[in-house]
Amino acid sequence: MAALASFDISTGADLQEVDNAVNQATKEVAQRYDFKGSKASIAFDRAKAVLLLVADDDFKMKALFDVLQSKLIKRNVPVKNLELGAVTPAANDTVRREIKLTQGIPQEKAKAIAKAIKEKKFKKAQASIQGDEVRVQSPSKDELQEVMTFLRSQDWGIELRFGNYRG
């Protein structure tokens, strides 16, 4: 019997890089002319993986989010994993937006990925959900490469990371 080769599919952002991006964005906002005298701020709750943006109005909120997004992209944080909350009114004539970072594949997306692998009818590839990851196993390493190529070609709404490859 041939040994099974496998890899894990996961997602998530390096929280230290998110923290660094927030610090850089905060510095830029403090120096920018269009934010002078405004109540623009970015707070990062590392334990909950949530960003909280506060600005004077919708226009400044959009500018604040653009600054943050550019810093996240420079630090290789997948912006596909940001769950944007609605812009809501807050105290002192400000608006607030909560952004959640997706850490780990949500259960319904994991089921959809496993189902897609089964429906594609790869010869011997098997997908199994393990917590917030999906493990794909097959006796053929080439078939695992085909599965990776197939999953990259689809849009899952989150950034997929392939790792823990065992041959």
Q: pTM for this one? A: 0.82
- pLDDT of the residue at 98: 95
Q: Looking at the domain that runs over 5-11+105-166, which CATH code has it been given?
A: 3.30.70.860
pLDDT, one tens digit for every residue, the chain (167 residues): 457 889 999 998 889 999 999 999 999 999 989 888 888 999 999 999 999 999 999 999 999 999 999 999 999 988 998 999 998 998 888 899 999 998 899 999 999 999 999 988 888 889 999 988 999 999 988 889 999 999 999 888 889 999 888 87
- pLDDT of the residue at 13: 86
Amino acid (one-letter) located at 8: D
Domain segments of the chain: what residues? 5-11+105-166, 15-101
Name beta bridge partners: 9: 134, 162
* CA-CA-CA-CA torsion sign (136, 139, 142, 146): negative
Q: Do domains 5-11+105-166 and 15-101 have the same CATH topology?
A: yes
Q: How far apart are CA 14 and CA 54, in angstroms?
A: 23
Domain 15-101 has CATH 3.30.70.990: yes
Torsion angle of the four alpha carbons 79, 81, 87, 93, in this order, in degrees rounded to the nearest 10? -70
